[in-house]
Structure 1
Amino acid sequence: MDVIGGKWAFLVLRELFCGTKRFGELQRHIPAISPRALTSTLRHLEEKGVLERRVYPTVPVTVEYTLTPKGHDLHPIIHQMKVWAARWT
């Protein structure tokens, strides 16, 4: 739970399960999240080895986030949690 227990981690992971995203894309798909909270969540997930941050030397700099194999392994777990919640709420 330390890895995915943050307030925004589930939503960020949901977006990244669909593929690689840039910061702005994540922010558009999760409109309630502040840039500071998104940055904090991305850093936390990167530190835990769930996602990878790639920086491209363009002007302006392009940064993409993608799930690592460890992050992809969370998909069935989160899916089962969603099924459980639908059944019991």
Structure 2
Amino acid sequence: MVASRCTRKGNWQKSDGYTLAWCRQHQLHKLCLTVFATNKVAIALYKKVGFIVEGVQKEQVFINESYDDELLMAYFFTHNRKDETT
């Protein structure tokens, strides 16, 4: 979770650059995260970086008097995934 005082200031991009570089250096195949479906700003940022939605946990949390879905997202470091066609 990112503190509201840190949002929209480029902090995520800085940490993202470090995180993705670390994952590449250690030859990870995939990096996963979850995000609430109502967090449209974060979802757009993750997609811009290259994350894809892999799944949805419907009505995962009850916040502010309503249920919210949780999206499962992943960034693949290799391009030889089974679901890709060549």
Q: Give the TM interval when normalised to the shorter protein.
A: 0.3 to 0.5
Q: Which has the higher strand share?
A: 2
TM-score, structure 2 as length reference: 0.35
Asked which structure has the greater CA Rg, the reply is 2
Q: Which has the higher helix share?
A: 1
